[in-house]
Amino acid sequence: MSVPRVAQDVHFRRGDPRDDATMDHPDGASLLLVNQHYAPDVAATGQCLADLAEYLVDVGYHVDVLAGHARYDAGQVEAPAREIRNGVHVRRVATTHFGRRTHLGRVVDYASFYLAVLARLLFGPRYDGVVFLTTPPLIALVGRIARALRGQRYGIWSMDLHPEAEIAAGMLAKRSLAGRMLASLDARAYRGADFVVDLGAYMRDRVLQKGVSIAKSHTVNIWGGRLELPPSNGANPLTRRLGLEDRFVVMYSGNAGIVHDFGAIFEAMRQLRDDPKIFFLFVGDGPRRREVEAFARRECVHNFAYHDYFPRDFLRYSLSIADVHLISLRSQFVGISVPSKLYGAMASARPILFVGPDRCETADAIRDVRCGVVIDPSEAGDAVAGRKIAEVLQGWADVRSAREELGARARCAYVERYDHRLSCSAFESIVRSAWGAPSRVEQDAACIEVRPNSLLAPRGSTRS
């Protein structure tokens, strides 16, 4: 079987805009981006926000970021309270830092961040626009208050939905007083925004159910990192460090959280625990890490390891350790959460095995691109799904050319559709349309060349 060539990357035809003397901040184009996490924190929302903020600086905006000092996992980010990071003015406010391992600790961290952001918006400088992400939950409600009291304009980048996530997780009853009150407050915050950016068609449906008008609703693909260079297909220093040169590595990379489904994956790990070739590698952290590690110990799964996050500079090597990437999502979270893991996996030119609902953004993208397999545990239960997972993994382990073809398709899709600059450009156009901020994107668009690859079928709707 002939193996398709991996697509070329997006190329800039002239120097970095930051080196262009004409790229000074225009007067009046001031933005504040608000999220509890920001680089160098490992949180995916913080990393994507840093990519967007730096892109906006490159095309001419003055960008401030208001973030917390707490780390995504626990502790504090090793970064100053104030800094200019790649042209972005970052302020990290003091908050509690209990981390995500307990619900109470998370709530306390959230509350302290709410108060700090509210004080900044009520008593600090006004901006042409404020963009809120969705960590912590309902943080955009602060924007609604600032709009009422100071006329501050704001938009929302909906990385996930609340209180829908808490209801789906069983932490909050939908018809309870608290559930109805939080849903009402969140809907008011969404309706008061100048725009709402969602991550896909299923999430957009839920956003519209909050009462957001179609004219204010926009979809922009999330991304998995700045993986602009070709994936590492040669010697990988991390593979050697971990002693995995002769293993078929099945990787789960990123957060292991309440939105993820591990039942069928556990069944597959149990069935393949004596396979001398296959190795399950988890990289990252999250509230369910202990559950995963406890399962491996209890079931004597020795072809398994769990490693902390690697620095982002190592991301292209980390993701390239894998021979296949695992992604999961619980069916209750369709339209509430969209795993960004998909796009980093695509960038690494590896096939993707998605364990989750057959109808969601991730499943639709994999089928559209034809870069992997979707297995829905809800159709026949975890035991049957686990056997299917094991069969797929053993098949890919035996046929290298099959997985290389799937990986090549994934890489092409990343380059042509999911490169972070394409999404950042789309986001900037939404900001410009809503707030009329000056921009140099049209000029800089001539600097970007995307080389198409015939591997991908013409892009069409993934919804029927």
CATH number at residue 196: 3.40.50.2000
Q: Phi/psi of residue 31, each to 5°?
A: -125, 145
Same domain, 89 and 182: yes
The rounded percent of the chain whose pLDDT value lies above 90 is 70
Going by C-alpha positions, the residue among 307, 259, 414 that lies closest to residue 352 is: 414
Helices (H) and strands (E) counted in the chain, each on its own, are 16, 16
User: Structurally, how many domains does the chain consist of?
Assistant: 2
Rounded distance between C-alpha atoms, residue 387 and residue 384, angstroms:
5
Q: Is residue 64 part of a domain?
A: yes
Which of 31-40, 73-82, 338-347, 450-459 shows the lowest per-residue confidence on average (mean pLDDT)?
450-459
**pLDDT-derived band at 264, boundaries 50, 70, 90:** very high
Contact 418, 208 (CB under 8 A): no
The CA distances from residue 66 to 35, 61, 167, 304, in Å, are 7, 16, 28, 39
pLDDT for residue 427: 97
pLDDT, position 208:
98
Question: pLDDT confidence of 118, banded at 50, 70, 90?
Answer: very high
Same domain for 433 and 356?
Answer: no
Q: Is 376 in the same domain as 403?
A: yes
In a domain, 454, yes or no: no
Instruction: Report the side by side order of strands in the sheet with 278-285.
Output: 304-307, 278-285, 248-255, 324-328, 352-355, 372-375
Q: How confident is the model at residue 73 (pLDDT cuts 50, 70, 90)?
A: low
In a domain, 6, yes or no: no
In this structure, the chain runs to a length of 464
Co-location of 388 and 250 in the same domain: yes
184 with 327, same domain: the answer is: no
Assess whether 410 and 430 both reside in one domain.
no
Clarify whether residues 216 and 274 are in a common domain.
Answer: no
**106 domain-assigned:** yes
Q: 59 and 22, same structural domain?
A: yes
136 within domain boundaries: yes
> Do the domain assignments include residue 148?
yes
Both 385 and 438 in a single domain? no
Of 305, 273, 283, which is closest to residue 393 (Cα–Cα)? Answer: 273
| Residue 68, H or E segment | strand 62-68
Instruction: List, for residues 319-332, the tens digit of each pLDDT value.
Output: 999 999 999 999 99
| Pair 328, 363 in one domain | yes
Task: Specify if 17 maps to a domain.
Answer: yes
Q: Are residues 44 and 178 in the same domain?
A: yes
Helices 420-435 and 44-58: crossing angle in degrees, nearest 10, is: 70
Would you state the pLDDT for residue 464?
35
Is residue 111 within 8 A of residue 86, CB to CB? The reply is: no
Mark which of 372, 392, 415 sits at the end of a domain: 415
Beta-strand (E) ranges in 205-351?
217-219, 248-255, 278-285, 304-307, 324-328
Whether residue 229 is contained in a domain is answered as: no
Do 430 and 409 sit in the same domain of this protein? no
Domain extent, residue 331, equals 237-415
Of 328, 332, 320, nearest to 256 by C-alpha is 328
C-alpha torsion angle, residues 252, 254, 260, 265 (rounded to 10):
10
Which SS3 state, helix, strand or coil, does residue 134 take?
Answer: coil
* Close Cβ partners of 438 (under 8 Å, ≥ 6 residues apart): 26, 28, 29, 60
Q: What is the pTM of this model?
A: 0.85
- Give strand ranges (E) for 344-392: 352-355, 372-375
Could you tell me the pLDDT band of residue 138, with boundaries at 50, 70 and 90?
very high
Rounded Cα gap, residues 459 and 316, in angstroms: 26
